[in-house]
């Protein structure tokens, strides 16, 4: 893995009303790296992805991608730059087929380095089916394929594991590891720490909009502040 920075997040703040959902978040993600973003409910993980993907504009702070300032750009511009994301609850075009759901993205974006995204996620055999008829696990894979179809160099993954069976989980973990070996960096928001552990050792732990730990998972599990926010001790 190269240590070249891909995404530099500096002192990111996002408020809703007076509430600071992100309260000065700073971290760097390197090219080809998988980093976990973990923390209790409401700690700001999805908001972080929402700001990086352009869904929300930050109140302050900076986002640099490949050395260029990108904070505040719209999602389609972020996708064009090479940043795409999955959603906690995927919302495919239910009346379109699986293949059409991908074409919608391909029509507006560039080609992918990973080949056919449906093939990659294992949905080629249901390409002709309506997206609304897929299981929730398959819809998550379709969402991943949709994000991959834009040819991202940074993929923000929001709770992909929830609702997947243990064998689907292993399969997805393997696919995400493959993406990293092909140079796609991943920021993985996840509650399931076993899944994070399969992907990476490096995690950021958030609580109340702030990072409270950065390092490997084993050390996180022994960190006093981390233990306190997870177990309320």
Ligand X SMILES: Nc1ncnc2c1ncn2[C@@H]1O[C@H](COP(=O)(O)OP(=O)(O)OP(=O)(O)O)[C@@H](O)[C@H]1O
Q: What pairing do the DSSP bridges indicate for beta strands 185-189 and 154-158?
A: parallel
What strands, in cross-sheet order, belong to the sheet with 5-16? 19-30, 5-16, 60-65, 68-69
Q: Which is nearer to ligand X, 48 or 105 (CB)?
A: 48
Q: Tell me if 192 sits within 8 A of 161, measured CB to CB.
A: yes
If one asks whether residue 39 binds ligand X (CB under 6 A), the answer comes out as yes
Q: Which is nearer to ligand X, 184 or 229 (CB)?
A: 229
Alpha carbon distance 79, 109 (integer Å) = 8
Q: Tell me if 212 sits within 8 A of 226, measured CB to CB.
A: yes
Q: Considering the complex, what minimum distance in angstroms separates the CB of residue 230 from ligand X?
A: 12
The runs of H, that is alpha helices, within 82-135 are 98-108, 117-121
Q: Which is nearer to ligand X, 21 or 199 (CB)?
A: 21
Q: Considering the complex, what minimum distance in angstroms separates the CB of residue 41 from ligand X?
A: 3
If one asks whether residue 18 binds ligand X (CB under 6 A), the answer comes out as no
Q: Considering the complex, what minimum distance in angstroms separates the CB of residue 135 from ligand X?
A: 22
Q: Considering the complex, what minimum distance in angstroms separates the CB of residue 158 from ligand X?
A: 8
Q: Which is nearer to ligand X, 46 or 185 (CB)?
A: 46
Q: Which is nearer to ligand X, 41 or 167 (CB)?
A: 41
Q: Which is nearer to ligand X, 21 or 172 (CB)?
A: 21
Single residue of 46, 53, 86, 200 touching ligand X by CB under 6 A: 46
Show the tokens assigned to 182: 């092909």
Single residue of 31, 45, 140, 146 touching ligand X by CB under 6 A: 45
Alpha carbon distance 178, 92 (integer Å) = 24
Residues touching ligand X, count (CB under 6 A): 10
- In angstroms, the Cα distances linking 32 to 1, 86, 151, 164, 221 are 6, 18, 14, 25, 25
Q: What backbone torsions phi and psi does residue 127 show, to the nearest 5 degrees?
A: -60, -30
If one asks whether residue 58 binds ligand X (CB under 6 A), the answer comes out as no
| Residue numbers at the binding site for ligand X (CB under 6 A) | 16, 21, 39, 41-47
């Amino acid at each position: 893995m190269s240590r070249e920075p891909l995404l530099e997040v500096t002192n990111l703040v996002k408020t809703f009303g007076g509430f600071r959902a992100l309260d000065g978040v700073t971290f760097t993600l390197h090219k080809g790296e998988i980093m976990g973003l973990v923390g209790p409910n409401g700690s700001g993980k999805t908001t972080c992805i929402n700001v990086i993907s352009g869904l929300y504009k930050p109140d302050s702070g900076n986002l640099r991608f490949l050395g260029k300032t990108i904070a505040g750009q719209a999602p389609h511009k972020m996708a064009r730059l090479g940043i795409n994301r999955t959603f906690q609850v995927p919302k495919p075009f239910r009346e379109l087929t699986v293949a059409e759901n991908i074409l919608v993205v391909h029509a507006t974006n560039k080609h992918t380095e990973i080949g056919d995204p449906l093939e990659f996620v294992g949905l080629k055999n249901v390409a002709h089916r309506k997206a609304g008829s897929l299981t929730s696990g398959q819809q998550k894979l379709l969402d991943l394929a949709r994000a991959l179809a834009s040819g991202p160099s940074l993929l923000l993954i929001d709770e992909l594991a929830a609702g997947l069976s243990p064998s689907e989980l292993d399969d997805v973990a393997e696919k995400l590891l493959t993406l990293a070996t092909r140079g796609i960096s991943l920021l993985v928001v996840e509650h399931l720490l076993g899944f994070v552990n399969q992907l990476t050792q490096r995690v950021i732990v958030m609580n109340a909009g702030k990072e409270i730990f950065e390092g490997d998972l084993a050390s996180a599990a022994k960190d006093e502040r981390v233990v306190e926010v997870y177990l309320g001790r």
